[in-house]
Amino acid sequence: MNSTTYTVVTLGSHSALQILKGAHDEGFPTLAVTNRDTESLYRSFAFVDEVISIDHYAEFMNLVPILEDRKVIIVPHGSFVAYLSLEDHKEMRVPYFGNKAILDWEASRELQRQWLSRAGLNLPRQFKTGAEIDRPVIVKLYGAQGGKGYLFVRDAADFEDRVNILGERDYILQEYIIGVPLYIHYFYSPLTGKLEIMSMDRRYETNVDSLGRIPSRAQEGMDIEPSYVVVGNSPLSLRESMLAEAYRMGENVVRVSKEICPPKGLFGAFCIETIITPDSQFYIMEISARIVAGTNLFIDGSPYSYLNYSEPMSTGRRIAREIKNALLSNALGEVLDDASVI
Ligand code: AMP
Ligand code: AMP
């Protein structure tokens, strides 16, 4: 195996420690691209072989010509979509783990909805007009980020009363699903065609996760809008009788992804964000087409990854294992975006 000739590189944020530790454990040299604030943190870890520091993550594109001249593979995470545009992603020719064609389907709420509904998943109802609202609704402003910018509406009359807050902005009216959130982390191997459930988490979000701490009677008239700003994650194991459905949802999402982004579809790490109702139905809020930060709970492996690997297998390490297996079978192109120059 000549994995030592490729360096695994990622941005110093989000799940970079997990990705670089996993790459190191699989035998790859590692490179963290940091900013001035995070540089010393990443340098402090022995598994980070090299650090390149830039002023702002948004300047990552300036580094691309240097990376294109080296033998590196980018493993993207949530900060890439936060700091780089879709155009930036497509412009880079640096070997990139994943299929960039999926980014368009992920970025648009409409396309994502088409993808997930073609995969037969339950989605919250959407209403075209305020008058149609017949149940509690979450109003999602376009471009809302970081869990802020949502409005919670009780019924059509409540919407009518408050619609002026929204002004000229575009929004969607989505049924509010009352249940418990569960984020399921998957890995799909294009080399073996096998799907694995790697781990699961629930998010800890402020202020929504604290509203239950004030009796509803006391909340009346306080004019609190729920926000969903993530501050951390907790582990979860799913009732085993619900696991088959969780697995089936992942399989269906992958199957349809091959139809919408042929031939490779979605591969590598991904996550389905669900809310589970009292009748054990999974409703899908969103899909993330890459490693999510909730996997950071499982740098040492999860109960689920232990079923497939009798060694610590984080999602970050699983990605590096896939790259290594691809190199060993002379099939690196299978695990990289097609625009990658290798
Ligand atoms: P950051 O690099 O921390 O700015 O995060 C990049 C993106 O990932 C942002 O959209 C964050 O909301 C999201 N993110 C970061 N950490 C977590 C986490 N622990 N759980 C869920 N999402 C996260
Ligand atoms: P999103 O921006 O879609 O990732 O959603 C942010 C947070 O809002 C997540 O914790 C979701 O669980 C929650 N959320 C989003 N849509 C709904 C919905 N239709 N019903 C209930 N909760 C939702």
Give the model confidence (pLDDT) of 97-142 as tens digits.
Answer: 999 999 999 999 899 999 999 999 999 999 999 999 999 999 988 7
What domain range is 90 assigned to?
Answer: 3-98
CA of 64 to the centre of ligand 1 (A): 23
Do 195 and 247 belong together in one domain? Answer: yes
Same structural domain, 87 and 157: no
Please indicate, yes or no, whether residues 229 and 151 belong to a single structural domain of this protein: no
CB of residue 230 inside a 6 A radius of ligand 2: no
The answer to whether residues 89 and 80 touch, using CB atoms and an 8 Å cutoff, is yes
Cβ atoms of residues 267 and 188 within 8 Å: yes
User: Residue 318 falls within a domain, yes or no?
Assistant: no
**pLDDT tier at 168 (50, 70, 90 boundaries)?**
confident
Task: State the pLDDT at residue 328.
Answer: 97
- Which residues are bridge partners to 234 per DSSP? 202
Number of domains in the chain: 3
Domain co-membership, 278 together with 202: yes
Over 60: is that where the pLDDT of 1 sits?
Answer: no
For residue 28, give the DSSP letter.
-
Are residues 201 and 159 both part of a single domain?
no
Is 170 part of any domain? Answer: yes
From the alpha carbon of 150, which atom of ligand 2 is closest? 8
Q: CA 192, CA 237: separation in Å to the nearest integer?
A: 26
Check whether residue 22 and residue 142 sit in a common domain: no
Q: Which residues' Cβ are closer than 6 Å to ligand 1?
A: 13-14, 78-79, 82, 146, 203, 230, 232-233, 293-294
**One domain, residues 193 and 268:** yes
Q: Which of 184, 285, 288, 292 to mutate to test the pocket of ligand 2 (most atoms within 8 A of CB)?
A: 285
Whether 322 is covered by a domain: the verdict is no
Token pair in block for residue 71: 């033998």
For the chain, the average pLDDT equals 94
Position 340 in a domain: no
**CATH number where 28 lies:** 3.40.50.20
Please write the tens of the pLDDT for every residue from 197-245.
999 999 999 999 999 899 989 988 888 888 999 999 999 999 999 999 9
Is the CA virtual torsion 243, 244, 245, 246 positive or negative?
Answer: positive
Residue 245 resides in a domain: yes
Establish whether residue 174 lines the binding site of ligand 2, counting it when its CB lies within 6 angstroms of any ligand atom.
yes
Asked if the structure places residue 330 within a domain, the reply is no
- Encode pLDDT of 245-274 as tens digits: 999 999 999 999 999 999 999 999 999 999
- For residue 250, the domain's CATH number is 3.30.470.20
Same-domain status, 209 and 148? no
Confidence of residue 149 (pLDDT cuts 50, 70, 90): confident
Residues 158 and 29 in one domain: no
Residue 235 located in a structural domain: yes
Largest CA distance in the chain: 65
Q: Are residues 194 and 244 in the same domain?
A: yes
Q: In testing the pocket of ligand 1, which one of 11, 13, 14 has its CB within 8 Å of the most ligand atoms?
A: 14
Residues 74 and 162 in one domain: no
Q: Report the CATH number at residue 133.
A: 3.30.1490
Instruction: Tell whether 163 and 224 lie within a shared domain.
Output: no
